[in-house]
Amino acid sequence: MRWLPPARRGAAAAVSEVARTTRRGARQGAKRRQRPFSREVAEMVGAAVGYQSRAFVTFGAPIPLAGWDYESKRAVMTLAHTIRDAIGRLYKVVPSSIVAAAMRPSMTTAEVEDRVAGITERLAAADANLDEREPASIAGHGLQVLEQRGILVRERQVWRVRERLVLRYYARSIAHLLMPPRRAAQAPRTP
């Protein structure tokens, strides 16, 4: 961060929809039948080629460092919490994370849209950095992205979770915005 004056550092938040699912391995046909490693590698490479992604980097207001007592553990921890909270408020909330937070083991599209609407209201009240604001659009885009990645599957009129741990990872990326505030004041703290 050399381009900023030493007395002021800004908070920055980055989100990438690619990095979240790059650890997904090739699927096995059956537990008893191990496929050759070369086929697993070919499947993983095939899934990575032509993969569309996007990334957001958001820069916030500078946080003044003058006046902090660096010898005091309490002051250093308060500064750390201030920086963490500032970055948490800057995080770009994408549709896939909202749908992941709304999802249950099996839901219809209408149920997903209803839960997405409730979560979107809570995020807007928390002044979250939303990528989209229309609940129907958020549900549509989020379901489409999660289905393309094999995390959700649509069976007739019901959406079912295929990759529960990956879905939980997406949902936890915005959990800090959905929890009630731990402290009375959410404004940036000063020394």
pLDDT digits (tens, 9 = 90+) for 6-33: 445 556 666 655 434 444 444 555 555 6
pTM score, two decimals? Answer: 0.67
pLDDT above 50: residue 47: yes
Grade residue 44 by pLDDT with cuts at 50, 70 and 90: low
pLDDT above 50: residue 5: no
Residue type, 81: H
12: helix, strand or coil: strand
Q: How far is CA 75 from the centre of its chain?
A: 29
Q: Rounded mean pLDDT of the chain?
A: 79
Q: Provide mean pLDDT across the span 129-150.
A: 93
pLDDT digits (tens, 9 = 90+) for 64-96: 888 888 899 999 999 988 888 888 888 899 999
Model pLDDT, residue 188:
55
Name residue, tokens 């948490």: 88
Name residue, tokens 């770009």: 92
Q: How far is CA 35 from the centre of its chain?
A: 33
Domains of the chain listed by start with CATH number: 8-17+54-178 (1.10.10)
70 vs 79: CA distance, rounded Å: 9
2 vs 64: CA distance, rounded Å: 15
How many angstroms separate the first and last alpha carbons of the chain? 22
Query: What does each C-alpha distance from 3 to 8, 47, 166 come to in angstroms?
Result: 10, 38, 36
101 vs 179: CA distance, rounded Å: 12
| Cα 88–Cα 18–Cα 4 angle in degrees, nearest 5 | 45
